[in-house]
Amino acid sequence: MDLMDLIQGQLSDGLLEQLSNKVGSDPQKTAVAASGIMSTLMGALAKNASTPEGANALVNALEKDHDGGILDNLSDIFSGKTEGVNERALNGDGILNHLLGQKKSGAIDIISKMSGLGSDQAGGLMSMLAPVIMGSLGRAKRQHGLDVGGIASLLTNSVNRQHQSDSNPAMGLISQFLDQDNDGSIMDDVANIGMKMLGGLFGRK
């Protein structure tokens, strides 16, 4: 089981087009940004789950607010039809602040330069996709009966697969960014990686 595959499986061509329209970009740039966002947040989740305290806090959040139910209505949710949906499950900004903290703005800069989206577009897309990522993780937990150790292993294994995948050259850069204390030293490499990612994402040419 690979978390990236589970997340990408939620984003059909139609949903990507819907997201593109919402952020005001073309689908190709949105796909590049979405892949970078998923890699960034998966890496942050894996980093948080690498300690017992972080892993327990993540599992508690999944059990409380992120059971995967939102995945059944993503088109409606992206259209703003959120009546009856747990507000915390949709709080993308809250998820990002918790996962990335002070690195949030730096992560948005990376996604922006990687994809060609503006910073506001990249930030908006990240806020919309954060609940999808948490929902996908929550659904995997529920469907496969994963405990704290199982969640941590799923995240670690999924991130490791991304490191080994030629189709996602952003992963090493993102991991470096998440591990460093200052946020300014890797931005020169971002545009080149973004060009490598263009065209091959989600099986699209």
Pick 204 or 109 by higher pLDDT.
109
**The predicted structure's pLDDT at residue 47:** 87
Give residue-wise pLDDT tens across range 140-198: 999 999 999 999 999 988 888 876 665 555 555 666 666 655 544 444 455 454 545 54
Measured distance CA(166)–CA(13) in Å, rounded? 22
Give residue-wise pLDDT tens across range 95-123: 999 988 888 988 898 888 888 899 999 99
Among the listed residues 113, 123, 107, the one whose alpha carbon sits nearest the alpha carbon of residue 188 = 113
Domain positions in the chain: 3-203
Measured distance CA(100)–CA(87) in Å, rounded? 20
93 to 57, 88, 112: CA distances (angstroms) = 18, 10, 17
